[in-house]
């Protein structure tokens, strides 16, 4: 992007200090390590860093201008809030983009749905990198728009009321996708209804002639959306579609799923609905290649003798855990084992929701359960899973050893827990165990 200094002042306000004003700026950077000469440097403030500490370095490395919310003797444009200015710049640059802007949120599945939408829409589509779905990430994505992009898919997350509205007002989506209303962050928001209202802030921020794309199987979502949005609405679900053995039957066509599982078929339906809304021909999308997701999502690790480890450790909203357990239960090639850790930010709902996880393990008749942790939630989960055999381990190393000792040929093992648990740390431990420790080596 290019922006004149006069346009910058008009966009973010502020007061210039430091002699001759800069000329045209050729981009925006928040990191001196990647800053290019002529770019605007915006110093952001985090829990463990303050970009204002690097104003001098930014100028040494050729920044065309620096913003500052703090007094400094360096030439700078003084603003009251650097993050706010960053978002205003992103909104300004988004206004220059004429293609579709697709906003995606939901309690579970939003990153996967964002990836599927980008795949379905084809080449020259900008998407939120990984899960950079907060104030900084959404602005950074929009500022990355180039004339060659045909559309942008922006993921939006929240931990409290007002956050998605702020992101939507920055991105101004033409299409808003809400995957579901679940209980992630219910400890912060207090009720499913409050979560639904927070998710539906995306619809408040839609362009007036925009399109809402909603999970038609989520009654709370549909009810809440109707309270805030009266524009065009498309729904998706399995009422008129069929998921069977890795295929989706939709509008008389058979689609090969880029990702396995009924829950992923539902996410894929969301992507197809967006494509239809934008005028794509569904017949051209019936056979897409397998999709590789960002780290910690459906990463398959193959061990000797047909053993597969399924890395789903990125996070664990209750709905996502249930969906993954259901998918695991579909496996018919060998034993089905789950390795679960605690789900966070559930407040007073924590114990009953962990019991629900255990009951699902029991009802699906999985072949084994390994639990990591030692809190009351883990105890509740283990008790509810009975009579499925379960083991509880408070130490990651002992958990890894116990898993490898129990493994048998053709086992499929699902690993899932909340981000704070950092269950992904188990994989290097598993890799270090000698192959003779594998139960699968037993004859």
- In this predicted model, what pLDDT tens digit does every residue of 156-189 receive, in sequence order? 999 889 999 999 999 999 999 999 998 887 888 8
Distance CA 117, CA 213 (A): 12
pLDDT per residue as tens digits for the range 302-317: 998 999 999 999 988 8
pLDDT per residue as tens digits for the range 226-253: 999 999 999 999 988 888 877 899 999 9
CB-based contact 80:291 (threshold 8 Å): no
CB-based contact 423:415 (threshold 8 Å): yes
Distance CA 324, CA 260 (A): 10
DSSP code per residue over 16-60: EESSSPP--B--EES-TTT--TTPEE---B-SS-BGGGGHHHHHH
Using CA atoms, how far residue 322 sits from 188, 328, 356, 404, 414, in Å, is: 21, 10, 9, 24, 12
Radius of gyration of the chain (CA): 24
Instruction: Compute φ and ψ for 89, nearest 5 degrees.
Output: -65, -40
Percent of the chain with pLDDT over 70: 98
pLDDT per residue as tens digits for the range 101-119: 999 999 999 999 999 999 9
pLDDT above 80 for 74: yes
- Say what the pLDDT of residue 438 is: 56
What count of Cα atoms within 13 Å lies in the side-chain half-sphere of residue 67? 31
pLDDT per residue as tens digits for the range 247-272: 899 999 999 899 988 999 999 999 99
Burial 21-55 (b: 16+ CB within 10 A, else e): ebeebebbbbebeebeebbbbbbbeeeeeebbebb
pLDDT above 50 for 443: no
Tokens representing 130 are 């990984």
Chain centre distance of CA 24:
35
CATH superfamily of 299-441: Mur ligase, C-terminal domain (3.90.190.20)
Assigned CATH for 97-285: 3.40.1190.10
Least confident of 237-241, 289-293, 312-316, 322-326: 289-293
CB neighbour list of residue 423: distance below 8 Å, 6 or more residues apart: 313, 339, 341, 372, 415, 416, 417
- Say what the pLDDT of residue 361 is: 98
CB neighbour list of residue 352: distance below 8 Å, 6 or more residues apart: none
Would the pTM count as exceeding 0.85? yes
More confident call, 356 vs 432: 356
Distance CA 376, CA 390 (A): 15
More confident call, 413 vs 437: 413
What is the pLDDT averaged over residues 274-301?
A: 89
For residue 10, name the pLDDT band (cuts at 50, 70, 90). Answer: very high
CB neighbour list of residue 303: distance below 8 Å, 6 or more residues apart: 309, 407, 438, 440
Class of the domain covering 5-88: alpha beta
pLDDT above 90 for 24: yes
Common-topology check for domains 97-285 and 299-441: no
For residue 435, name the pLDDT band (cuts at 50, 70, 90). Answer: low
Least confident of 50-59, 127-136, 284-293: 284-293
Q: Which residue has the tokens 């559930």?
A: 346
User: Kindly report the CA angle at 83 between 193 and 6, in degrees rounded to 5?
Assistant: 130
Using CA atoms, how far residue 51 sits from 26, 30, 33, 82, 173, in Å, is: 20, 8, 12, 10, 29
Distance CA 158, CA 134 (A): 7
What is the pLDDT averaged over residues 379-403?
A: 96
Neighbours of 107 (CB within 10 A): 27
What is the pLDDT averaged over residues 343-349?
A: 90
- Say what the pLDDT of residue 358 is: 97
For residue 439, name the pLDDT band (cuts at 50, 70, 90). Answer: low
Q: Sketch the domain layout of the chain as residue ranges.
A: 5-88, 97-285, 299-441
pLDDT above 60 for 346: yes
Q: Strands 390-393, 368-372: parallel, antiparallel or unpaired by DSSP?
A: parallel
Conformational region of residue 30, where left means phi above 0, alpha means psi within -120 to 50, and beta covers everything else: alpha
Distance CA 123, CA 109 (A): 22
What is the pLDDT averaged over residues 286-292?
A: 85
């Amino acid at each position: 992007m290019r922006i004149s200094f006069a346009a910058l002042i008009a966009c973010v306000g502020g007061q210039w200090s430091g002699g001759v004003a800069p000329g045209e700026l050729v981009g925006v950077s928040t990191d001196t390590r990647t800053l290019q000469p002529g770019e605007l440097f915006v110093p952001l403030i985090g829990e463990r860093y303050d970009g204002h500490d690097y104003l001098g370095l930014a100028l040494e490395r050729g920044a065309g201008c620096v913003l500052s919310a703090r007094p400094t003797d360096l030439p700078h444009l003084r603003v009251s809030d650097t993050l706010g200015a960053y978002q205003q710049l992103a909104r300004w640059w988004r206004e220059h983009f004429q293609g579709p802007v697709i906003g995606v949120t939901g309690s579970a599945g939003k990153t996967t749905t964002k990836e599927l939408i980008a795949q379905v829409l084809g080449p020259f589509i900008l998407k939120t990198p990984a899960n950079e779905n907060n104030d900084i990430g959404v602005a950074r994505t929009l500022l990355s728009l180039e004339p060659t992009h045909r559309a942008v898919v922006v993921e939006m997350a929240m931990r409290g009321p007002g956050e998605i509205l702020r992101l939507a007002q920055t991105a101004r989506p033409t299409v808003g996708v809400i995957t579901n209303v679940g209980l992630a962050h219910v400890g912060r928001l207090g009720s499913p209804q409050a979560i639904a209202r927070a998710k539906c802030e995306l619809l408040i921020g839609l362009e007036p002639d925009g399109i809402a794309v909603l999970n038609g199987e989520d009654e709370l979502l549909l009810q809440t959306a109707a309270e805030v949005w009266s524009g065009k609405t498309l729904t998706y679900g399995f009422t008129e579609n069929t998921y069977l053995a890795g295929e989706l039957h939709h509008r008389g066509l058979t689609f090969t799923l880029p990702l396995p599982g009924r829950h992923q078929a539902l996410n894929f339906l969301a992507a197809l609905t967006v494509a239809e809304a934008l005028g794509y021909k569904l017949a051209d999308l019936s056979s897409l290649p397998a999709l590789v997701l960002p780290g910690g999502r459906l990463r398959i690790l193959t061990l000797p003798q047909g053993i597969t480890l399924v890395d789903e450790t990125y996070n664990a909203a209750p709905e996502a855990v249930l969906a993954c357990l259901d998918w695991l239960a579909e496996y018919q090639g060998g034993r089905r084992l789950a390795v679960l850790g605690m789900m966070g930010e559930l407040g007073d709902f924590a114990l009953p929701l962990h019991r629900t996880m255990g009951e699902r393990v029991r009802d699906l008749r999985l072949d084994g359960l390994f639990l990591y942790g030692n809190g009351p939630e883990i105890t509740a989960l283990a008790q509810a899973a009975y009579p499925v055999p379960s083991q509880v381990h408070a130490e990651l190393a002992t958990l890894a050893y116990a898993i490898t000792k129990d493994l048998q040929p053709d086992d499929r093992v699902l690993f899932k827990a909340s981000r704070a648990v950092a269950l992904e740390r188990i994989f290097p431990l598993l890799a270090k165990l000698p192959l003779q420790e594998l139960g699968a080596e037993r004859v």
